[in-house]
Each structure stands twice: as structure tokens, then as C-alpha cells.
């Protein structure tokens, strides 16, 4: 079991989380996306699937993949929250005030009329801005 990673077992469902990344040349963690969920860490499975029909899942999941493919490390920090939507908005405001470009600010798309390839290119452009 030496290759296994360990996380504390969730005590409740309500969380606020931040997805962060580190580039190969900068060991500091930079916030990428702020979210909230009633499903605790189960929410992250949606990002792994990155279903195009769910725009947030697609955006976050694909950007995480693109960052990893660029040699970046992507991590998640989360905390339980009794007021998850309020706490989420406060974190987003805090990072915006610091001038951090969050994926939260990238406009969404309509999966019925959108094109997956076009959205992938838009996300690649976003990642290039982050790491260059």
C-alpha cells in the first residue's frame, strides 16, 4: 500500500473547496477554481469525467488535464461549511481582489449548440495565459 494516498474520511457533505495549481518553475500554489458542494469529495469525480453536457464539469476537468499535461501539479483544498454559498462567494471575491484569474470567471457555453473542439481550444488559451 506504499503508493496509496491518504485523505481524512468526510464527516459531512457540505464543503467549500479551492482547486490550485503549481507550475514546474513556481512551487507556490495558485488558486484556479472555487466551488461548493453538498456531496463533499464526491464532487471531484464529476471533474474527472469532464462531461461536455455539464459545462462546469467540462471546464474544470479539461483545464486540470491541460495543466497536468503541461507539467503542473493540481491539488484540492477543502473545508466543511455551514454556509457554503456565502463562503464560496467570499473566497472568489478575495482572489479576484488579489488579481487572480479564476476559471470561475470564464464564460460558460450551451452544450446543445456549442462545439467541444471550440471549447477545448478556449480552455487551452486560458491555460496558456495562466502558465506563461
Report yes or no on whether pTM surpasses 0.85.
Answer: yes
- Domain ranges in the chain are 15-119
Which among 48, 45, 38, 23 is positioned nearest to 88, based on CA atoms?
A: 38
64, 47 contact by CB (below 8 A): yes
Q: How many CB atoms lie within 10 A of CB 56?
A: 15
Q: How many CA atoms lie within 13 A of 28 on its CB side?
A: 3
pLDDT digits (tens, 9 = 90+) for 13-38: 999 999 999 999 999 999 999 999 99
Joined grid coordinates for residue 40:
463533499
pLDDT tens track for 39-89: 998 999 999 999 999 999 999 999 999 999 999 999 999 999 999 999 999
Amino acid at each position: 500500500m506504499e503508493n496509496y494516498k491518504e485523505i481524512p474520511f468526510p464527516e459531512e457533505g457540505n464543503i467549500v473547496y479551492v482547486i490550485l495549481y503549481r507550475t514546474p518553475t513556481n512551487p507556490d500554489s495558485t488558486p484556479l477554481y472555487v466551488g461548493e458542494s453538498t456531496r463533499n469529495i464526491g464532487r471531484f469525480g464529476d471533474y474527472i469525467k469532464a462531461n461536455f453536457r455539464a459545462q462546469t464539469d467540462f471546464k474544470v476537468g479539461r483545464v486540470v488535464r491541460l495543466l497536468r499535461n503541461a507539467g503542473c501539479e493540481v491539488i484540492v483544498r477543502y473545508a466543511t461549511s455551514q454556509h457554503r454559498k456565502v463562503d464560496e462567494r467570499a473566497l472568489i471575491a478575495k482572489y479576484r481582489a488579489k488579481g487572480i484569474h479564476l476559471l470561475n470567471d470564464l464564460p460558460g457555453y450551451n452544450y446543445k449548440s456549442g462545439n467541444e473542439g471550440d471549447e477545448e481550444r478556449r480552455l487551452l488559451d486560458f491555460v496558456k495565459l495562466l502558465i506563461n
